[in-house]
Structure 1
């Protein structure tokens, strides 16, 4: 079976819903041009609230639209009309704080408010424990195209040991949460790196082995609408 891209799943959901793009746009509270971009794949990410609104408008599963995992239809996913069970879904707490893909996003304090639901069997296959997970949002474009502004990410707060090539949520010296990739430097020490290729704007930040031990690692980014 061929793997469908997200925009292909969205196109399928809209087509089988029998609704026009204008109707979908109205029900989702967006402009028709936004729906066109979802369908043609010209945008790399969707806000979670738009994804859930699209799922409601089409009758398709939000989880399937995001990951192609599980049943397509919401009614199939809901066991013939029953609401999702906590046995099947884990509600992952959501940070109010944003993480910066830039020079740092100032968060006066971090609270947990609300959350997003993830299927437990999917988390299990990913090797993730619900109690160790938190939802956060990206701010800025220093990690573009890996992360886009406003994109949702999933943090494993138990993964706080530096790992080569992995992206982490870090607290900078001012207590600002930033999303950066850690790269082991062949000369020794580490590089705190942005994925954006513009190194004039987003240069690598070298740090010693001793220095990295003093960095407050919030957790490792393990999902961004797709596995990382």
Structure 2
């Protein structure tokens, strides 16, 4: 089964009409027609992820055919303590729980999903102060030393995956050639992007300049809003 067949199958199983899907993901209905007919063999990562999210399907299945088509949607506000098998029954009211963010390379891009089997508990009062919305946040371990000294390798980061519009001097989780990276973005006056590591080790973590007409190719998964506190 190829990409066009999987897309047609997912659309048929969905309540969304083709024109409504196009409107939601910001493309023309004719673009979706080309994807369905196979005139365009591959999807940009951003379009693939948006389609998967709107249709409620597994993005890896859409991209490669691996795994199951369906993907459960997870809205985490308060989870029953019995589900967590914990002794302190007050923790469900004093904490919010967010799932792990899983990112996997696929054909030079990256697909991601949340994993409710691995959750982290965060103090509810602290979460409110930093405007952490558990319905569109996930946690992720820092993959390397690129953002030291503020973010250490292995630190637990909170990522808002609805916040993908680049803002100057904010830290984002990116995918470059399918590889996960955490970098600080600067938006230049000419609308180009400067993607930088905080580390002074520029040999290992070189800065990258992205021209304005290439910005749409930068795959931003979400903004890092906290690392054991707000940043």
Band of TM-score, shorter chain: 0.5 to 0.7
Q: For structure 1, which runs of at least 5 residues remain unmatched after alignment?
A: 1-80, 99-105
CA contact (8 A) 1:158 1:219 kept: yes
Structure 1 vs Structure 2 CA RMSD: 2.6
- What corresponds to 1:92 in structure 2? 98
Q: Cα–Cα, structure 1 residues 86 and 96, in superposed 2: closer, same or farther, change >3 Å? A: same
Deviation at 1:128, TM superposition (A): 1.9
- What corresponds to 1:138 in structure 2? 142
Matched, 1:222 2:228: no
Deviation at 1:200, TM superposition (A): 3.2
Please give the TM-score of this superposition, normalised by the length of structure 1. Answer: 0.55
Question: Structure 1 CA distance, aligned partners of 2:113 and 2:180?
Answer: 10
CA contact (8 A) 1:97 1:137 kept: no
Deviation at 1:158, TM superposition (A): 1.1
Query: CA offsets, 1:135-173, max 9 Å, x none?
Result: 10012212211221111111011111001000000111x
Deviates more, 1:83-92 or 1:134-143: 83-92
1:32-181 alignment runs, 5 A limit:
82-97=88-103, 112=115, 113-172=117-176, 174-181=177-184
Question: Structure 1 CA distance, aligned partners of 2:92 and 2:187?
Answer: 40
Deviation at 1:86, TM superposition (A): 2.8
Q: Cα–Cα, structure 1 residues 188 and 114, in superposed 2: closer, same or farther, change >3 Å? A: closer
Query: CA offsets, 1:65-91, max 9 Å, x none?
Result: xxxxxxxxxxxxxxxx84234333211
Question: Structure 1 CA distance, aligned partners of 2:112 and 2:221?
Answer: 14
Question: Structure 1 CA distance, aligned partners of 2:162 and 2:190?
Answer: 28
* Larger RCO of the pair (alpha carbons < 8 Å, separation 6+): 1
- What corresponds to 2:188 in structure 1? 185
- DSSP-derived class of the 1:139 partner: coil
- What corresponds to 2:11 in structure 1? none
- DSSP-derived class of the 1:86 partner: helix
Please give the TM-score of this superposition, normalised by the length of structure 2. Answer: 0.54
Q: Give the alignment partner of residue 210 of structure 1, picking from 210, 213, 218.
A: 213
Question: Structure 1 CA distance, aligned partners of 2:223 and 2:111?
Answer: 22
- Equivalent pairs counted in the alignment come to 141
